[in-house]
Each structure stands twice: as C-alpha cells, then as structure tokens.
Chains A and B, each alone.
Chain A
Amino acid sequence: MTPRTLYDKLVDSHTVRALDDDGLVLLYVDRTVLNEYTSPQAFSGLREAGRKVWSPSSALMVVDHVNPTAPARVPEMADAGAALQTSYFARNAADFGIELFDQMSPDQGIEHVVMAEQGRVLPGMVVAAGDSHTTTYGALGALGYGIGTSDIEHYLATQTLPYRRLRTLRIVLDGVPGPGVTPKDIIMGVVRAIGADGATGAAVEFQGPAVEAMSVEGRMTLCNMIVEAGARGALVAPDAQVLDYLRGRPGAPTGALWEAAAEAWLGLRSDPDAPFDREARLDVSTLVPLVTWGTSPDQAEAVDGAVPDPATEPDPVKRRGMERALAYMGLAPGTPLAAIPVSHAFIGSCTNARIEDLRSAAQVLRGRRVAPGVQAIVVPGSTRVRAQAEAEGLADIFRAAGFSWRQSGCSMCLAMNDDVLGPGDRCASSTNRNFEGRQGPGARTHLMSPAMVAAAAVAGRICDVRALEA
C-alpha cells in the first residue's frame, strides 16, 4: 500500500465518489454544529426548495454569537436583531427536528467548546460547520473545516459536500516550552513564522514532541488558530490523552463499543513515510510569550520586544500593511510592547476559554488586583466550563481580582452581542483575530495568551507574565 497521511485516510474513508480526476470528491460529512447567525439563510433555502434535512440527529444547534453575557441570563434578547435570529433559530430546530442548546440551556456555550465537551466530535470523523474555527476538532483526530451558508444548506440536504482534496502541510513542533509559554504562544509563533497566508488551502498535521506533550485542550488551541494562517483543516493523531479526554462524555461510546472505537482511533495516524506536500518546523524552546501589535494575527512580536519599523520591510505590500496597521493601532515603531497601556482585558473565545485557560489566568490573578481604569471580563467557553470554574474556586479569584465573571458565549471575540469596545479602546485579548473593527469600530486588539491577558489587566499595560510569575 502507498503510505498515506492521516488526512488522506480521513478523506478516503469519507469519499462517496470522485467528482473529477483532480481530487474533487463527494465527501460524506458525519456531523455539524449550527449557530444562529450563519445558518438562517440555509434553513430558508431548504424551506423555499421544499427540502428536508438528511439526518437531523447529525446536527446540533447552539446559540453562541449573539447572546448577552450579563451575569444573570434571561430568555429574551433585548437586541432586536439577536431576538430575530434566536427566535428563527428555535423555529428551525423545531421544524427540522434538530437538537437545540439555546442560551438558557445548561449545556450551552461556544459551539466548538460544546461539541468537544459533549463528546459529539470523535476521532476519525469529518465535521463541517459554518464557522472558520471548526478546525479546532483536529485536536481530537477529526477533520473539521469551516464552510459558508450555501454549503451548510448543502450539508443539511445531502449529508455531503463537494470537496477538493487539499495539499498537506506537516508542522513539527520540537522542544520544551519555557516559562510563561503556552499553546497560544506556540500557535501565535507558528502563524508569525509562516504568515497569515502560510497555510492557505492546506490541511495541517501537527506532529512532534511538543505536540505529544501538550494537553488535548492545548492542542485545541493549536488547531483552532491555525486557521489564522489560512489552513482549511488541522489534525493531531489521537493518542491515550485523547481517549482519556473523551471517556465518559455524553456522546462517547461505552462498553464493548468504546473498546472497539478506542482501538480504531489509536490506529488513526499518518504512515511513517507518508509524503506531505510541505513541511515547517518550530523549536518551541526558542519562544517567549507573544503579543500582536498589528491588525493581522501574524503581526506578533515577543513581549520583551518592540513595535517593528515598516521601513525595514522590503516587500511593499507588507510594508503598506504594516504602516496601515500601526496607524490603526495608534502605535509608533520602536515602542516597547511592555510600555503599551490597555483599557480593557478580555478572556474568552473558542481559542482560549476552556478550563485550562481559566486556570492559567487565575493563577496569575490570585492575590492580585486589576489596575485602576481597566475594564476586565472573563467569559467562559461554556456553561459547563463556567460551573467547573466556580466549583474549583477560579470564579472567586477572578471576582476578587476585579474581573467581571460572565455567562458563556462568543462575546467580545467578534462582538456581535453587547460586549463591544469603543473607538480607541485598547484591549488585551485571548481571542484569535485582531482585525480592524472586529471588537468594535476603531477598537484596538492585542492578541495574547490568557495568562498574559491577566498580567496586562493587573499591570494596566502589556506585561511579560514571566515577571509576575517569578
């Protein structure tokens, strides 16, 4: 047999038939998760054409983008647009027979956090969903990828998608991360190294000792954010840690079925000599905590470094991009990053709002206070994460430090709810995108790890978390 990558194996095992001679296939997709803002037009399309959903039990609907995060949650949405979207969402769930976690459900949360914690994504699956961060599921050995609304409609009607096989990119992570260097810093280091289009259209497999040593939740952060380099899929071969993560979750098999599944899952890996189209390597021991200074996720620098000078960039397109980014961010070349004051701090998002993320931020905040004038919020990735953080005493640490302890949702990551920054506000953020206007028109976002957000909140400026941990 020709040696194959894990990606090849997943595509092969889900190919209904080839559609051309150049890698276009009709791909069977096992599951999806739907949110309230990219799915409405797909359901309308089904209605207009008189079509049914092929397999309602293969889908889950989760309200996550528009719901308020106020500490007391109510069923009604005050915002008219959010109310319209959530009511249409509920109607679609009822009419098409799909399970719904609305904003009042104890299982509610950010779609990708919920899918993993419910055990709805299992190794070997193909999962497509109307959100770019669907790549997160690669951490569980499943091929997840983001699609648009037309393709959601296609999935719902047919359980398949026309799919062109991707080029493969192996990213090998060597070494042991130093103090203060988290999976977020590692993936920001990868995106910085290969660029915001460095994995465009690629299926990435993460390999190497630093990946093997990383927790499953850490791997989710890697797979989640590699989409910021343009990846269309991310994978980590499932191992014993993944089995430990899945065992006992509501959607995981039990008994003899678990035994059979576990054996199959541990066999899901690239053959030793499988060819990848490209390869990149990064020694994570060379990294220090990273912070973005610009408006693209690859515009990142070591926290002990300075804002770069566009004049030193030879590529004119990149140079113009840097100049524009610095103008938007209100920063001058040469400014030490650790001298940049912040007005807001946000811990949340599908990248960094899992229990391990909250633990690492709380560790920094224990016995400390948010600096005067800084508005700090923490939005757990799901209601279950929130409950667990409360049980572990993390919520008390956040509150005592002066953070607002919120209900779960996507919140200020894309600010479709009422957690929006004003023009000129500068936010230390654990999210994945620092695009212009994303957290609010004129708002300035600096991406960093949850622990670094905690450190910035305490210092009132961007701050090297290693100085606080020492």
Chain B
Amino acid sequence: MEPLIRLTGIAAPLPAANVDTDVIMPKQFLKGIDREGLRDGVFHFLRFAGDGSPRPDFILNRGPWRGASILVTGPNFGCGSSREHAVWGLRQLGIRAILGTTFGGIFFDNCLNNGILALGLPPDDLAVLLRLAEDPAHNRLTIDLPAQTLLGDDGTCVAFALDARRKEALLRGHDAIAATLEEANAIQSFEKAHHQANPWLA
C-alpha cells in the first residue's frame, strides 16, 4: 500500500447524499478476478454517455476538476454493497482522499485498506471545504497528515481528528496482515480457550 503523508490536489464537490457503491462501481465491472481495469468503472453512468463519450455535466469531466485527487462528498457516501472494487477503482482514478460527514462502514474500512484517507468531518467544516471545492479559483487543497490539517490556498485551515492507528497505517502504507500475524501466538492461545469454553464451536 502506497503511503499517504502530504498531498496537494484538486478537490471536486460531490455533495449528494447516499451515493452508494452501485453508483461508484456498477456491477458491469465486477466480473473479474483481479483488482485491475476498474478506472473506467468509477461513476461510470455519471461519467459516460451511452456512446462512451464523457458527460460534460459530470463534475470530474469539467475543466477545473478533471484530474481531482480529493472528493468532497455528501452524507453516507459509499453506502450499500461491500464491493471493494469501488475503492480500487477510485484509487486507480487517482483519488487519495474523500472528505465527508459520514460514510458507509464497509466502504470506510475499505478506503483505509487501500491507502485512501476517508475523513468524517463536522458538517460546518465540510461546508467550508465544499465551498472551496466548488470554487474553480480555490479548489486546490493540501492534506497534511502528520499535522492533521486541510489547507486551502486561500489560507483556509481546517484541523481534523484521526485515530492514531489509522494515521500510522496511512503514513507507513503498512501490511495489516503481517502486523496481525506477529500476534499469531496470542491468537492461537485465545482460540484454544475460546473453543474450550464453547466446545460446540470447535
């Protein structure tokens, strides 16, 4: 997983509520067995018309927001199906951070597992960032993960909270499985006692 430390990029506003993973990655793109080739799937029916041409009304197809690496979203972004393909696709499109108020729980975890910073912010802070993202003159944001701040080039500064473990994981781009396997002995001991206490589970 690629570390995320400090990132400057274009923020795109996507303020709709309840944007689900079916919309983020339609099922037509789920027939593979690897993580590749999902770039075109992201927001597919919002981004592309039936003939494959880009829809000019969709924010990521419009000049100042093309190539955005940060999304500023509405509440409950990424709700619905557990499909991690949605997050793999966003990453392949170059998205490194998603700023919102609340997220679908599985989606939120999937983001962390793929090096995307998903941040649930207070509504007032999000409103400030949304206004910046909507303004073509000021839609460039810098995310400073060590300092836990979001900086606009107009001088806006929004601090954010982040639990230490998630921060560390993003900074180091760590392998969660390797970290857990360091606890293999503890897991084995736990398992033995658990099955002794609940022998019908063994």
Residue of B nearest to A39 (CB): B33
The 0/1 profile, CB within 8 Å of B marked 1, for residues 422-439 of chain A is: 000000000001011110
Identify which of residues 149-174 in chain A touch chain B, using a CB-to-CB cut-off of 8 Å. Answer: 149-151, 153-154, 157-160, 162
A435 B15 Cβ-Cβ under 8 A: no
A148 B27 Cβ-Cβ under 8 A: no
A151-B187 contact in complex given A41-B34, A253-B200, C-beta closer than 8 Å: no
**B136 interface contact, C-beta 8 A:** no
A150 B187 Cβ-Cβ under 8 A: no
**B139 interface contact, C-beta 8 A:** no
B30 A230 Cβ-Cβ under 8 A: no
B31 A150 Cβ-Cβ under 8 A: no
The 0/1 profile, CB within 8 Å of B marked 1, for residues 6-40 of chain A is: 00000001101101101010101010000001101
A132 B201 Cβ-Cβ under 8 A: no
**B190 interface contact, C-beta 8 A:** yes
**A366 interface contact, C-beta 8 A:** no
The 0/1 profile, CB within 8 Å of B marked 1, for residues 241-256 of chain A is: 0000000000001000
A85 B31 Cβ-Cβ under 8 A: yes
Q: Return B57 CB to nearest CB of chain A, in Å.
A: 13
**B83 interface contact, C-beta 8 A:** yes
The 0/1 profile, CB within 8 Å of A marked 1, for residues 153-186 of chain B is: 0000000000111000000000011001101101
User: Could you say which of A101-109, A304-312, A314-322 contacts chain B?
Assistant: A314-322
Cα of A285 to Cα of B74 in the assembled complex, Å: 34
**A441 interface contact, C-beta 8 A:** yes
A160 B180 Cβ-Cβ under 8 A: yes
Q: Return B142 CB to nearest CB of chain A, in Å.
A: 27
B177 A158 Cβ-Cβ under 8 A: yes
B27 A415 Cβ-Cβ under 8 A: yes
**A450 interface contact, C-beta 8 A:** no
Chain B residues, CB < 8 A from A379:
none
Chain B residues, CB < 8 A from A88:
33
**A196 interface contact, C-beta 8 A:** yes
Q: Return A118 CB to nearest CB of chain B, in Å.
A: 15
**B194 interface contact, C-beta 8 A:** yes
Identify which of residues 36-70 in chain A touch chain B, using a CB-to-CB cut-off of 8 Å. Answer: 37-38, 40-41, 44, 49, 51, 54, 66
**Max chain B CB contacts within 10 Å: which of A148, A159, A415?**
A148
A84 B31 Cβ-Cβ under 8 A: yes
Partner of A26, one of B31, B45, B180: B180
Q: Return B201 CB to nearest CB of chain A, in Å.
A: 6
User: Could you say which of A122-130, A338-346, A380-388 contacts chain B?
Assistant: A122-130
Cα of A124 to Cα of B194 in the assembled complex, Å: 11
Cα of A41 to Cα of B35 in the assembled complex, Å: 7
B32 A162 Cβ-Cβ under 8 A: no
A159-B191 contact in complex given A197-B18, A257-B200, C-beta closer than 8 Å: yes
A132 B22 Cβ-Cβ under 8 A: no
A162-B176 contact in complex given A150-B110, A200-B105, C-beta closer than 8 Å: yes
**B128 interface contact, C-beta 8 A:** no
Residue of A nearest to B31 (CB): A81
Top-10 shortest CB links A-B: A81-B31, A150-B113, A40-B33, A148-B84, A148-B110, A197-B76, A253-B200, A149-B84, A435-B22, A261-B200
6 pairs, CB–CB < 8 Å, chain A vs chain B:
A16-B187, A132-B81, A151-B110, A200-B105, A321-B16, A433-B20
Query: Chain A residues in contact with chain B, CB under 8 A?
Result: 13-14, 16-17, 19-20, 22, 24, 26, 28, 30, 37-38, 40-41, 44, 49, 51, 54, 66, 79-82, 84-85, 88, 122, 124-125, 130-132, 146-151, 153-154, 157-160, 162, 196-197, 200-201, 230, 232, 253, 257-258, 260-261, 264, 296, 317-318, 320-321, 324, 414-416, 433, 435-438, 441
Query: Chain B residues in contact with chain A, CB under 8 A?
Result: 15-18, 20, 22-23, 26-27, 30-35, 45, 74-76, 79-84, 87, 102-107, 109-110, 113-114, 163-165, 176-177, 180-181, 183-184, 186-187, 190-191, 194, 198-201
